[in-house]
Amino acid sequence: MTSQELFGQIAAKKSFLCVGLDTDVRKIPAHLKDSDDAIFEFNRAIIDATAPFTVAYKPNLAFYEAAGLDGWRAFEKTVAYLRSEYPEMFVIADAKRGDIGNTSQMYARTFFETVDVDSVTLSPYMGLDTVAPFLQYPGKWATILALTSNASASDFETEQTTSGERLYEVVLRKSKQWGSVDNIMYVVGATKAEMLSSIREIVPNHFLLVPGVGAQGGSLSEVARYGMNDRCGLLVNSSRAIIYADQSERFAEAAGQAAKEMRDQMAVLLEECLKR
Amino acid sequence: MTSQELFGQIAAKKSFLCVGLDTDVRKIPAHLKDSDDAIFEFNRAIIDATAPFTVAYKPNLAFYEAAGLDGWRAFEKTVAYLRSEYPEMFVIADAKRGDIGNTSQMYARTFFETVDVDSVTLSPYMGLDTVAPFLQYPGKWATILALTSNASASDFETEQTTSGERLYEVVLRKSKQWGSVDNIMYVVGATKAEMLSSIREIVPNHFLLVPGVGAQGGSLSEVARYGMNDRCGLLVNSSRAIIYADQSERFAEAAGQAAKEMRDQMAVLLEECLKR
């Protein structure tokens, strides 16, 4: 998918919502738990309910791996279901991989061949070698960690370097040269909305994947104010606030409603942006 | 396992070798490929042949994930086999995970509960939040990336900070306060052997996991010269040079021979170190 195609989806749906599929088998509603494939059944119901309001899904690999083989199978089935039923969706494997050489090639093969997602989240610590194999696949993306929303982001990400930049700014400046706006996007935490302005100075045209709106305390309007560009340039992720909106038999309906409410807010923000 | 127990294994076997199980299904000898579980069968033969000369094994998750469900099953079976047949081995899941909060907890649960390894390699980019959940498990370890052996390590790891340190030195200095020599070790690439001296100034007593000896060009004696401390303090990993020493039906025998040759070199270096 190109960035123009992603923007096309955003404009059509009036939404830049990404639903995070952080599916914790321990939080699945009781009536689903007896299913042979509870994680997948939960995801399918969530996807069907939220798809009208969503342009992207982000399965969080940790949750699937923690369930062992059954979890990995549920991840593969979830991606296959998205591909067959909602081929227009942008699917991000939130795996935060970061390795080199033939190992990194193996990860790219896993996520772009064995499982067919659009992008994988990657840690930049080890540099270009971590990212390059992912950029060899036409139409596929690398989603690189830049400035995250967790408290300990200040341990290293904001370390001041002698270039006058903080580490995450060095990451943005160097890594944007490795690819283009059509195959690199960045993770930028919503709790640092005011820092989005300085990030936009370095990467004005790249898509930013913004987690941390809702459960982690970030504000959607702040994110849009500081982070939106003239082709939106944002995917805002929400996980728990949508998929666990309700834990009864009504969970899917409640998730759809929560996604619709975010979409409605996004539609207003998008309209303002596109008028500029 | 404590660092003292790990050193006990090293002293008993006169080896600080870690065999990297980067098992690529495409490189498995032809006669094994028809097996239902070729990856595991290959690993079992490699383990049985190399165990007398080895104190640690490091399955590289990328290779298992690339084979999908079968790969994940082979990883689980390999760890279970090590646990039952060679319980004294230190097992490192080379997964280079790095996430936060409940996601990081999920990864810790995966590797320390669902699969029972001793340590997981972690990327420090997102700070303490990435590592903390792994340190909650008594006897388990975090193996944190510090200075890696790949070319693009110079993109960010060696970035000069205003504290006067390079980024990997900041990582070492801060992260060593998160745990102890009994639950944190560091990845330091062998191709930077002379930099081991300055690393030893920051973390004199921690174990270092050193990849890149052999195939990636590092020298074992240089690593020992600059990196060894009075309780060895090193695990030197070799993957391809051992597990693909031969690709015929003799592969396991050849792997055992390659491991024995490294052990013999290590025995000499260890004796010199322990005399100091």
pLDDT band at residue A275 under the 50/70/90 scheme: confident
Which residue in A159, A29, A15, A184 sits closest to B165, CA to CA? A159
How far apart are the C-alpha atoms of A262 and A257, rounded to whole Å? 9
pLDDT tens digit string along B119-178? 999 999 999 999 999 999 999 999 999 999 899 999 999 999 999 999 999 999 999 999
Work out the number of other CB atoms within 10 angstroms of the CB of residue B7.
18
How far apart are the C-alpha atoms of A55 and B70, rounded to whole Å? 31
pLDDT for the residue numbered B215 = 55
pTM across the whole model: 0.95
Q: What residues pair up with A236 in beta bridges, in sequence order?
A: A17, A210
Query: CB-hemisphere CA count at 13 Å for B242?
Result: 35
Which residue in A92, A103, A91, A72 sits closest to A144, CA to CA? A92
How far apart are the C-alpha atoms of B105 and A74, rounded to whole Å? 20
Distance from CA of B169 to the nearest CA of A (A): 11
pLDDT tens digit string along B7-50? 999 999 999 999 999 999 889 999 998 888 999 999 999 999 99
Summarize the confidence of residues B96-100 as an average pLDDT: 91
Q: Please name the helix (run of DSSP H) or strand (run of DSSP E) that holds residue B167, with its range, or none.
A: helix B167-175
How far apart are the C-alpha atoms of A190 and A196, rounded to whole Å? 9
Which residue in A10, A181, A20, A170 sits closest to A95, CA to CA? A20
Distance from CA of B138 to the nearest CA of A (A): 19
In terms of CA atoms, which chain B residue is nearest residue A115?
B68
Q: Which two tokens stand for residue B142?
A: 């975090």
Contacts of A76 in chain B (CB under 8 A): 68-69
Residue B216 has pLDDT above 70, yes or no: no
Please name the residues in contact with B27: beta carbons below 8 A apart, sequence gap of 6 or more.
B244, B247
pLDDT for the residue numbered A199 = 96
Structure letter (DSSP) for residue B14: T
Contacts of B100 in chain A (CB under 8 A): 148, 150, 152
Residue B276 has pLDDT above 70, yes or no: no
Q: Does A60 touch chain B (CB under 8 A)?
A: yes
CA–chain centroid gap for A61, Å, is: 12
Which residue in A238, A247, A215 sits closest to A45, CA to CA? A247
Q: Are B179 and B132 in contact (CB under 8 A)?
A: no
The position carrying tokens 């401390």 is B229
Query: Cα Rg for chain B, rounded, in angstroms?
Result: 18
Work out the number of other CB atoms within 10 angstroms of the CB of residue B271.
10
Q: Are A124 and B124 in contact (CB under 8 A)?
A: no
- State whether residue B246 is helix, strand or coil: coil
- State whether residue B105 is helix, strand or coil: helix
Q: Which of residues 206-235 of B touch A (CB under 8 A)?
A: none
Residue B182 has pLDDT above 90, yes or no: yes
Please name the residues in contact with B26: beta carbons below 8 A apart, sequence gap of 6 or more.
none
Q: Does A32 touch chain B (CB under 8 A)?
A: no
φ, ψ for residue A95 (rounded to 5)?
A: -120, -15
pLDDT band at residue A194 under the 50/70/90 scheme: confident
Q: Which two tokens stand for residue B210?
A: 């050193």
pLDDT tens digit string along A66-114? 888 889 999 999 999 999 999 999 999 999 999 988 889 999 999 999 8
Residue B192 has pLDDT above 80, yes or no: no
Picking from A125, A143, A186, A239 by the largest number of B CB atoms within 10 A of its own CB, the best residue to mutate is A125
Among partner residues A72, A76, A98, which is closest to B96 by beta-carbon distance?
A98
Q: Are A57 and A88 in contact (CB under 8 A)?
A: no
**β-strand A56-59 against A90-97: which pairing, if any?**
parallel
Among partner residues A76, A125, A161, which is closest to B125 by beta-carbon distance?
A125
Contacts of B170 in chain A (CB under 8 A): 156, 159
Which residue in A203, A198, A170, A167 sits closest to A186, CA to CA? A203
What's the domain range around B33?
3-275
User: Which DSSP string do the residues of chain A spell out, in sequence order?
Assistant: --HHHHHHHHHHHT--EEEEE---GGGS-GGGTTSTTHHHHHHHHHHHHHGGG-SEEEEBHHHHHTTHHHHHHHHHHHHHHHHHH-TTSEEEEEEEE---HHHHHHHHHIIIIIS--SEEEE--TT-HHHHHHHHTSTT-EEEEEEE-SSTTHHHHTT-BBTTSSBHHHHHHHHHGGGS-TTTEEEEE-GGGGGGHHHHHHH-SSS-EEE--BSTT-B-HHHHHHHH-BTTB-EEEEE-HHHHTS--STTHHHHHHHHHHHHHHHHHHHHHHHHH-
φ, ψ for residue A142 (rounded to 5)?
A: -110, 130
The number of domains in chain A is 1
Residue A22 has pLDDT above 60, yes or no: yes
pLDDT for the residue numbered A244 = 95
Structure letter (DSSP) for residue B66: T
Q: Does A65 touch chain B (CB under 8 A)?
A: yes
With 0-12 / 13-18 / 19 or more C-beta atoms within 10 angstroms meaning exposed / middle / buried, residue B230 is exposed
Summarize the confidence of residues B52-77 as an average pLDDT: 93
Question: Is there a contact between B69 and A68 if contact means CB atoms under 8 Å apart?
Answer: no
Residue B248 has pLDDT above 90, yes or no: yes
Residue A276 has pLDDT above 70, yes or no: no
Active site residues of A: 96
Alpha carbon distance, N-terminus to C-terminus of chain B: 26
How far apart are the C-alpha atoms of B37 and B35, rounded to whole Å? 5
Contacts of B157 in chain A (CB under 8 A): 125-127
Q: Which of residues 122-161 of B touch A (CB under 8 A)?
A: 123-130, 145, 148, 150-157, 159-161
How far apart are the C-alpha atoms of B64 and B24, rounded to whole Å? 8
In chain B, what percentage of residues exceed pLDDT 70? 98
- Please report, for the domain that includes residue B67, its CATH number: 3.20.20.70
